[in-house]
Structures are given as C-alpha cells and as structure tokens.
Structure 1
C-alpha cells in the first residue's frame, strides 16, 4: 500500500545506519531500510519504516521545571500535536505502566523509558504501540528519542531493533 502513495519500497536489512548530522546535538542508529525526514511537528528528526509504521522520533524541547522528565517525554510522544482533529483521541498510559531507569554514560545522565500508547482513530480503530524512549537534558533543553512499533506487529525481532535504537542514542559533549 505505501507504494500507492509514492512512498519508497525498501527491502529490509539487518544493518543499521548512523544518524549523525553535525548541526544536531545527538546521534543514533536506525535500520538502514528506514527513511528519515525532519520532524514537522517540533525540532528534531523522524525516521520510519513506512511499510510497517515502525518509527523513531527525536524531539527537542525546553527542560521542564518539574523534576519529572519521564512524564513530559511520554506526554509529548503520545500527543505530538496540539490537536489531532475530528473525534480521534490519543490516550496517555496509566503512570503505573510507565517503566523508567536512569543511567550515567560518559558523564551524561540518560533516562530510559518503556510505555504503551493507544490511539483511537476517527473511524474508531484502536492502534496500540509499544514505545522505547530515552531522554537526556543538556543546556536547558531535553533531547528525547522514542522508537515504537504497533502492538499487533510486535515480536522479539522488533523488540531487539527498538532496543538497539534506544540504546544507541547519545548527545554530543
């Protein structure tokens, strides 16, 4: 179906490609078969497998005044736009379903987050996703990456890919 919309049909590959734009403060790896573009909703980048809707989105936003960066990352990942229009709904996960861990790597503090998300489309379809996120603050800004896949297409191989993307995210010093 993506070919009907003029989107590229790329064969999958087990190899990863490094996103390393010198104008950006971050780097990460993503599957070579995915396609990248600027994030049209906020500062950052969006890479995706348009065949399966697997994606990784990097967003940059001001560091929240509250101490809970985890909830802010989840909120922004689940509700990327102000309004989605019509009767579609984006549903934030229950806080008990959000798992996080903070790790210091190369003198930088990274917070790793796992959470489910759900969207009910205008036509009533429920789309559930599994999300793997990582965030770090630098210079008053938060840099977050959220890699996700639809739950109905989720398997051990996708989990490994999403964890690889999540684990590869680093900020420049």
Structure 2
C-alpha cells in the first residue's frame, strides 16, 4: 500500500477504517464488473447485433413507407400518362388495341381452360391454395420482400 501524504491525518478509528475498506471493496467490485463486461465479446456482439437489427427494422419501415408513397405517386402519374396517350391516339389505332386486348383475354381464358382440362386434380388444388394464400398475405409478402431488399442493400453496402 502507499503511504498517505504527510499533511493527512493517519490515525483513524476502527469504524472509519471498516467503512473505508467497504467503500474500496465496492469500488473494486464495480471496476471488476466493468472490466468483465468489456471482455465479454459474445455479449457485446449480441448487443451490437440487436442494435443493428433494430436499426435495420426502423430503416425497413421507413423505406416501406417511402416506397408506398412513391408507388402511389407513380401509379397516379402512369394513369395520367395513359389517359393523355389514349386521348392522342387515332380511333383506328384504338380499335386495333381494343381488338388485341380482347384476343389476349380470350387467349388467357383458353389457356386457363386448357389448364383445367389437362392438369391433374392434386396439382390444380395445390396451385389454387398457393395462389389464395399469396392473395391473402399480399402485404406480408411485400413487406418481407422489402425487408429482404433492405438487408441485401445493407450487406452489399457494408461489404463494398
């Protein structure tokens, strides 16, 4: 132990010494805990991973919101452009486009009928279930795709 400075009183009562020892023990315990926390690499890595996960979730939510807003804007612009283009088309061309659309619908209906006629029942049933499940959970699928895109973007950004 080090000697106290000469101007400090060196005689202490036993009670004061006990209190000083207890304070020193408490400080030493806190110091050891702090050092142990700094050397616990696994815990620090888990904390950092949780922090990054929270940041990614927040960023994904923000990007999803922005994507929704931009999609609405783009949809409105596309509809406006489509109406403008349609207004500028000559009538014979409009008639040809309508006829081509009718033929495409008929072709799709024919393909659907062929599917109904040729595909085995278990395959048709499973396909119908999968399509219904996708329709029922469209928002979840879009959110998952958005989150996957964000995670991929973050991973590419980090590695690049």
TM-score (norm 2): 0.18
Which structure has more strand as a fraction of its residues?
Answer: 1
- Considering only CA atoms, is the larger Rg found in Structure 1 or Structure 2? 2
In terms of fraction of residues, the more helix-rich structure is: 2
Question: Comparing both chains, which one has the higher relative contact order based on Cα–Cα distances under 8 Å and sequence gaps of 6 or more?
Answer: 2
